[in-house]
Amino acid sequence: MVLRRVNEANKKKELVKSLVDGAIMGLALFVMFGSLMYRKEISSVMNVALSPLASIAGNFMLTVLILAVLTAAYTSLIQKYTTNWELMEKSKEFQKRLKELQKEYIEAKRENNKHRLKRIEKKRAEVMSEQARFSGELMRQQIKPMAYILIITLPIFFWMWEYAPGEMVIFPLLGTKKLSDFFIFKIPYWLLWYMICSLPLAAVIRRVLGIKSAM
């Protein structure tokens, strides 16, 4: 009786968790697609909060650096606390086993060992079948952090896009460029500067927080 109640309670928790995750992902999709139509309006709202930061920073380059620190920090924290790392490790283990089986398969084929080939094929089918059982959950675990991150980050990017000034900045190897102008693939120079700042900062923060790669 007690065990039954515990199981029912766990099922309810899982259902609530699934509903919350679904709502967050739906909201993220709404923000991602719907907000593109209202970029200017969202940027105006964000300007209320971020224009004082830009004033204190004194220039847009420093403002972008500060925002890169903030986004790298909360992105890492969200990933740390919303990802099922046990599931990720299990996925890596499956990939490792499949890689080893593929190596064995090549060796058996080279030796023309039909009995061994049959055994390896059977093992590989079992591993792939087992992996397929949780592939949907694995995909959800990979998408879930992105949903939370998009909700917070897109409005910040919209603000930077709308309010990036036309000030001239000297980029190493590229020379003097206007922040609002475009680099290759229609990447504005302010975004290039953001990536230069964000990528190493995110790597350092992930290392400090002990976050392993999800891949």
At 95-107, the pLDDT tens digits run 888 888 888 888 8
Give Cα 77 to chain centroid, integer Å: 11
With respect to residue 214, please indicate whether it lies within any of the assigned structural domains: no
d(CA 170, CA 31): 34
Strand partners, 107: none
Is residue 105 in some structural domain? Answer: yes
Q: Do residues 64 and 190 make contact, with C-beta atoms less than 8 angstroms apart?
A: yes
Contacts of 211 (CB under 8 A, 6+ apart): 76, 79, 80
Task: Examine residue 140 and state whether it is found in any structural domain, yes or no.
Answer: yes
Closest CA to 33 of 141, 161, 143, 154: 154
- Confidence at residue 215, expressed as pLDDT on a 0 to 100 scale: 47
Q: For 137-151, what is each residue's pLDDT tens digit? A: 677 777 777 777 877
Residue 75 lies in a domain: yes
Q: Looking at the predicted structure, is the pLDDT value of residue 67 above 90? A: yes
Place of tokens 């046990």: 86
Specify which residues 177 forms β-bridges with: 169
The verdict on residue 133 lying in a domain is yes
pLDDT at residue 107, as a whole number: 85
Enclosing domain of residue 41: 2-209
Mean predicted confidence (pLDDT) in 120-132: 79
Residue 121 resides in a domain:
yes
**Domain presence at residue 76:** yes
**What phi and psi values does residue 203 have, to the nearest 5 degrees?**
-65, -40
SS3 179: coil
**Mean pLDDT score, 206-215:** 71
* Number of Cβ atoms within 10 Å of the Cβ of 181: 12
Given this model, what pLDDT does residue 66 score?
A: 92
What average pLDDT does the segment 188-205 reach? 87
pLDDT tens string 47-62? 998 999 988 988 888 9
158-183 confidence digits (pLDDT tens): 898 888 877 777 777 777 887 878 88
Structure token digits, residue 185: 């693939």
pLDDT band of residue 33 (cuts 50, 70, 90) is low
The kind and range of the H/E element at 197 are helix 189-209
pLDDT at 182: 83
Domain contains 200: yes
Domain count along the chain = 1
Residue whose C-alpha is closest to residue 80's, from 213, 211, 215: 211
